[in-house]
Structure 1
Amino acid sequence: MKEKRRVILLLVKFLVFNIVNATSFSDLNLKRRGADDCKPVVVAHRGASGYVPEHTLGAYALAITMGADYVEPDLVMTSDGHLISRHENELGHTCDVSQRPEFANRYRTQNVSGKTVTGWFSEDFTLAEIKTLRATEPIPLIRPGNARLDKAYDIPTFQEIIDLVKALEISENRTIGIYPELKYGLHFQNLGLAMEPKVVDIFHRNGYTEKNDPVYIQSFEVSNLKKLKKLTNLRLLQLYGAPTARPFDQAELGTWLTYARMATPKGLANVAEYAAAVGPQKSYIIPRNLANNLGSPTNFVKDAHAAGLEVHPWTFRAENVYLPKEFQSNNSSIAFGDLESEIKAFLDAGVDGLFVDQPDILVRVRGQCSD
């Protein structure tokens, strides 16, 4: 097992750190497949997070070599205004900060987007301090294999992810998209650490400026997407949480706008005024019944398409614990079930792309994609 882990690390290091050699070919005019040329679009959720600890350069590199069209980093802010990739601004579940006595005094409780959260927060650390931390698997009981790579990687910046993508575009000879989610937008705005202009600035400085460029910027909030619409031509995606919930920024504004209202034909038409796509929970498209089996498809995809929106639902995972009952393989919650069949059901419902933790499975279901 130690030897296998060593080989994996060597492979990922080769993919991640051979940028210097790869970029010597950057001026070649190679014919590349576009990130949106094949359907459904394969969005590697937090990288290949079903195989490697999420939001690490290793996870993103593996996803790309597996054939993902887009890598999906979640972004939060440091105290000195840098964008880093973590699913939450609370760091305790995804790195070794709890084992670092020098940071024990950073442990605190605060309100984050309407929820009381206790732990260590990205906004209390400088980038230099963040770079001393090592990433860990957040769900080791479900993904014990991933946990074997705990502390193998550091926490990447947004720019480092872009650099990795651009390097691997050369070796893969295809365009690879970047699909960031802005986490807790209003929370960081209230701290004076607004991430929206920083994300746009980094994208624009790296040559991503137009609506057809391989980028989607996503958020569960509404106001920041409308702000982004004024700052950039890059495509935006509105995420959808639980139907009865309200986007946090809308709750703060007192608008009473719920995700359910945003899922109606009128609501989708309103979303289409600022977004190019929507990212709903899977249940908006095919709900599950009381037996935890897939039910009948709704009209969500049809209504979204009528409004001119693409539909990229989340999140598809291979472990039994996440699958509908009819696609589970055995009584082990962590064993892989029949994710392929679940994916096929959603493709039959007309979706345009999927967020997936095991991108190789979706690539296999999609089949050969010609350049």
Structure 2
Amino acid sequence: MQPTTLIAHRGASGWAPEHTETAIRLAAELGADAVEPDLVATRDGVLVVRHDNELSETTDVAARAEFADRRRSQPIDGHELEGWFVEDFTWAEVATLRARERLPHLRPLGARQDGRDRVLRFDELLTLADETGLGVVAELKHATHHAAIGLPLDELVADAVRGTRWRAPGALVVESFEESVLHAVRERGVEARLVYLMEHDGTAADLVAGGDASAPTYAEQREDAALAALASRVDAISVAKSVLFERDGERLGTSDLVERARAVGLGTIAWTLRPENAFLEPEHRLGEHDAAWGDWTTEWGMLAALGLEAVFVDHPDLWRRVTARDAPAAPRSACPPPAAR
């Protein structure tokens, strides 16, 4: 069985603000095999590396008086959101913003680095990945929304990959919670492994937008017949880690999804592994504080035993420790996790 690929989730985002050059370089130092950027598009069609198309969670845009009038609300994938949206900005404007920690209440170390880095374009990230030897697992965010406003992500990704003359096209994976955009990317000639992201619950936004009242939920798409059909269209599924746990009474165990997917030729990827109590299964939390690190070694060990194709991890060095490979030391500047009480 092939070793599980270690994907640094938006870089080493447990140690530095996500999607920054600092986090990406650190991910390579800490033993990651690949980095996962989320991609959204500016008004003038530049792909930028941000968690979402709303910018205030991860940049200083809310503190910038010159952009105060850009604040608005709009529906995104069926949810009304308010803030500053990347599609209302040109790249030249986004380039003036500084990155911030998205989870400051859980990650004070990252918050202390607010303002250090600027926002990256996708082509810049490809160059960084090439330099550091990282593969790239690019997530296309809100593809149906972007297409509706004239910013088709499949076209922009194809242009970005061609434009960089990236030297490692075989190291590219493209993923999305919307299957249709994956096929559009391949139709544009992009060489990439296609991965279908699946929430625990809910239905894909492109299926909902299609108006089919009988559109399957993500859970229904994980049933045997649907998995077999998916295997003819994509290379792997990537699921919320909660999907891989199940309970027999009070005992926490793992589900058979990885086995069932493997049986039809699909790889299985899990997201996102984090050590803080806030993200662990209840059985693995220690103390009452969300920011405290719980029994993450037990939880991650259970997932490691499944033979996953890959995992998304915020702290790459911790996964290496669990899988007993030679793990680089954590950054010296890293403060210890808050003590559980």
Give the TM-score of the pair, scaled to structure 1. 0.82
Paired position in structure 1 for 2:216: 257
CA distance in 1 between counterparts of 2:172 and 2:298 reads: 28
Q: Deviations over 1:7-58 (max 9, x none)?
A: xxxxxxxxxxxxxxxxxxxxxxxxxxxxxx9611101111111110111111
> Pick from 207, 226, 235: which aligns with 1:267?
226
Per-residue deviation at 1:339? 1.8
Paired position in structure 1 for 2:146: 188
Paired position in structure 1 for 2:281: 324
| Coordinate RMSD, CA, aligned | 2.1
Ranges in structure 1 where 5+ consecutive residues have no aligned partner: 1-36, 170-175
Q: What does residue range 150-161 of structure 1 map to in structure 2 within 5 Å?
A: 150-161=114-125
Give the TM-score of the pair, scaled to structure 2. 0.89
CA distance in 2 between counterparts of 1:208 and 1:156 reads: 16
Query: Greater CA deviation, 301-310 or 267-276?
Result: 267-276
Paired position in structure 1 for 2:170: 213
CA distance in 1 between counterparts of 2:76 and 2:209 reads: 12
Q: Tell me, yes or no, if the aligned pair for 1:40 and 1:366 is still in contact at 8 Å.
A: no
CA distance in 2 between counterparts of 1:257 and 1:233 reads: 28
Paired position in structure 2 for 1:198: 156
Per-residue deviation at 1:108? 0.6
Q: Tell me, yes or no, if the aligned pair for 1:209 and 1:233 is still in contact at 8 Å.
A: no
Per-residue deviation at 1:230? 2.1
Per-residue deviation at 1:227? 1.8
Query: Greater CA deviation, 226-235 or 51-60?
Result: 226-235
**3-state DSSP of counterpart to 2:67:** helix
> Pick from 182, 185, 204: which aligns with 1:228?
185
Count of residues in correspondence between the two structures: 324
Q: Tell me, yes or no, if the aligned pair for 2:240 and 2:272 is still in contact at 8 Å.
A: yes
Paired position in structure 1 for 2:15: 51
Q: Does 1:314 align with 2:243?
A: no
Q: Tell me, yes or no, if the aligned pair for 1:208 and 1:234 is still in contact at 8 Å.
A: no
Q: Deviations over 1:157-184 (max 9, x none)?
A: 0011111111223xxxxxx200010000
CA distance in 2 between counterparts of 1:182 and 1:250 reads: 16
Per-residue deviation at 1:207? 4.8
> Pick from 99, 106, 111: which aligns with 1:147?
111
What amino acid is the match of 1:94? T
Paired position in structure 2 for 1:281: 240
CA distance in 2 between counterparts of 1:84 and 1:94 reads: 12
CA distance in 2 between counterparts of 1:290 and 1:71 reads: 37
Ranges in structure 2 where 5+ consecutive residues have no aligned partner: 327-341
Query: Greater CA deviation, 268-277 or 149-158?
Result: 268-277
Per-residue deviation at 1:206? 4.0
